[in-house]
């Protein structure tokens, strides 16, 4: 029996589990999937919790309902990988040997990386919405918040779902308008980028949209520290932005075991061939989703498109063949804009988001780079 091991049972890992089980079922291969929790959190739903659209129960399901029969499932934290020995060490003491390894353990927020962020105002006047705890705490804060200066802030790139902070800004604008206090709320959007988004064509549209909503855009802001006493964020070049309420996207990093195993870069993302999705260093290790360092969005749609390519290439590798399937960086993202409308963008490594229709260039129903109710319904 040969062993194929998948680390991570989030969106990317679960898709790979089902695709590979279908392709290899009845063969000599045993597939094992490892994850540290039995609960699946629908992370895109976290965005809507602060505004009362979703509750915690709406974004949680047991992971095992998505697993096919016949696979081995282990719930344990990962201690480290020993790639030169083809072994995975688990914190429960178990050692798993593999012939091929798929790393799909995503990314996590790391607020500890920014001085002062985890200070006395954390979850009092400073919040994230990329975790279930942060989203729930922010929901409680917004229920009774009467206004002031709201700063929406990105620490550094890359981050999971890079459109989510923009969506938060648009939804906040609509939320306060519906509550009748929009005139009492000043909103600033602070980013380390030189424009509103990572893609210029999209930034042109969304940057104007921020302005139309009365949301100020502050660019090229690279945060050094948070001043809890004076309620300011301060950049490395000593620029200051004050806030009454700070909603931040902390540094995103890969799983700790990636760094402990010598598999990753300085942020614990795994260096990966951006076309074949194979590890840049080990031929029997493949990487998918947020765990990679490929220059594509860390988003569920990207993991979906990657999974098609990666399944083909793992089968090629198993059969001793050239890895012929090539991932082109394809991503598409709905961008909620409030009041039951949304944008949609579609792009890849080389192609900027462009206007048109989706899924086909001349056939809708979804409009690209354009706000519509149909886009919201499709999200």
Query: Looking at the structure, do residues 177 and 245 belong to the same domain, yes or no?
Result: yes
Per residue in 146-160, pLDDT (tens digit) is 999 999 999 999 999
Same domain, 121 and 195: yes
Q: Among 201, 231, 252, give the residue marking a domain's end.
A: 252
From the DSSP assignment, how many helices (H) and strands (E) are in the chain? 7, 24
User: Could you tell me if 25 and 129 lie in one domain?
Assistant: no
pLDDT value for 362? 58
Q: Are residues 133 and 207 in the same domain?
A: yes
Statement to judge: residues 147 and 216 lie in one domain: yes
Does some domain include residue 301?
yes
Domain of 163 in residue numbering reads as: 111-252
Give tens-digit pLDDT for 51-93: 999 999 999 999 999 999 989 999 999 999 999 999 999 999 9
pLDDT at position 357, please? 83
Based on the fold, state whether residues 296 and 354 are members of the same structural domain. no
d(Cα 195, Cα 207) in Å, to the nearest integer? 7
Domain's final residue, options 226, 252, 278: 252
Name the DSSP class of 18. H
The helix (H) or strand (E) run that includes residue 168 is helix 164-179
**Is 328 within the bounds of a domain?**
no
Domain shared by 139 and 247, yes or no:
yes
Q: What is the DSSP string of 171-233?
A: HHHHHHHHHT-GGGEEEEEE-SSSSSSSSHHHHHHHHHHHHHTTEEEE-S--EEEEETTTTEE
Q: What is the per-residue pLDDT for 363? A: 60
User: Do 128 and 83 share a domain, yes or no?
Assistant: no
Reported as type and span, the H/E element at residue 351 is none
- Do 231 and 116 share a structural domain? yes
DSSP assigned state of 269: P
DSSP-assigned beta bridge partners for residue 4: 31, 100
| pLDDT recorded at residue 360 | 66
At residue 378, the pLDDT reads: 75
Q: Which residues of the chain have pLDDT under 50?
A: none
Assess whether 222 and 92 both reside in one domain.
no
Q: What's the pLDDT at 354?
A: 81
Domain total in the chain: 3
Calpha distance 308→96 (Å, rounded): 26
Contacts of 319 (CB under 8 A, 6+ apart): none
Residues 6+ away with beta carbon under 8 Å from 168: 47, 50, 129, 152, 247
Within this chain, do residues 139 and 168 fall inside the same structural domain, yes or no?
A: yes
């Amino acid at each position: 029996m040969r062993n194929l091991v998948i680390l991570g049972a989030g969106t990317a890992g679960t898709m790979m589990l089902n695709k590979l089980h279908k392709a290899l079922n009845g063969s000599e291969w045993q597939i094992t999937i490892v994850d540290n929790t039995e609960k699946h959190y629908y992370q895109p739903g976290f965005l809507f919790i602060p505004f009362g659209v979703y509750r915690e129960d709406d974004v949680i399901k047991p992971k095992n309902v998505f697993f096919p029969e016949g696979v081995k499932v282990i719930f344990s934290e990962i201690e480290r990988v020993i790639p030169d020995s083809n072994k995975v060490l688990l914190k429960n003491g178990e050692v798993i040997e593999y012939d091929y390894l798929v790393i799909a353990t995503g990314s996590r927020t790391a607020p500890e990386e920014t001085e002062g962020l985890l200070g006395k105002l954390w979850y009092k006047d400073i919040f994230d919405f990329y975790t279930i705890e942060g989203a729930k705490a922010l929901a409680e804060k917004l229920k009774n918040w009467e206004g002031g200066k709201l700063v929406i802030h990105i620490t550094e790139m890359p981050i999971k779902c890079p459109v989510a902070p923009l969506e938060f800004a648009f939804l906040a604008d609509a939320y306060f308008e519906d509550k009748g206090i929009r005139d009492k709320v000043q909103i600033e959007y602070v980013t380390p980028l030189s424009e509103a988004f990572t893609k210029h064509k999209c930034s042109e549209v969304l940057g104007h949209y921020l302005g139309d909503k009365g949301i100020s855009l502050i660019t090229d802001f690279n945060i050094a520290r948070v001043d809890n006493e004076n309620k300011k964020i301060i950049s490395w070049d000593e620029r200051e932005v004050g806030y009454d309420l700070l909603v931040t996207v902390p540094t995103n990093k890969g799983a700790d075991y990636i760094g402990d195993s010598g598999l990753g870069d300085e942020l614990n993302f795994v260096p990966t061939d951006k076309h074949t999705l194979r590890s840049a260093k080990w031929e029997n290790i493949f990487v998918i989703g947020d765990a990679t360092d490929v220059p594509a969005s860390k988003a569920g749609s990207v993991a979906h498109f990657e999974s098609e390519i990666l399944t083909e290439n793992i089968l090629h590798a198993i059969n001793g063949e050239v890895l012929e399937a090539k991932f082109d960086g394809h991503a598409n993202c709905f961008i909620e804009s409030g009041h039951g409308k949304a944008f949609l963008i579609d792009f890849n490594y080389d192609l900027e988001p462009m206007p048109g229709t989706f899924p086909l260039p001349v056939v809708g129903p979804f409009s690209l780079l354009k706000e519509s109710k149909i886009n919201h319904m499709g999200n």
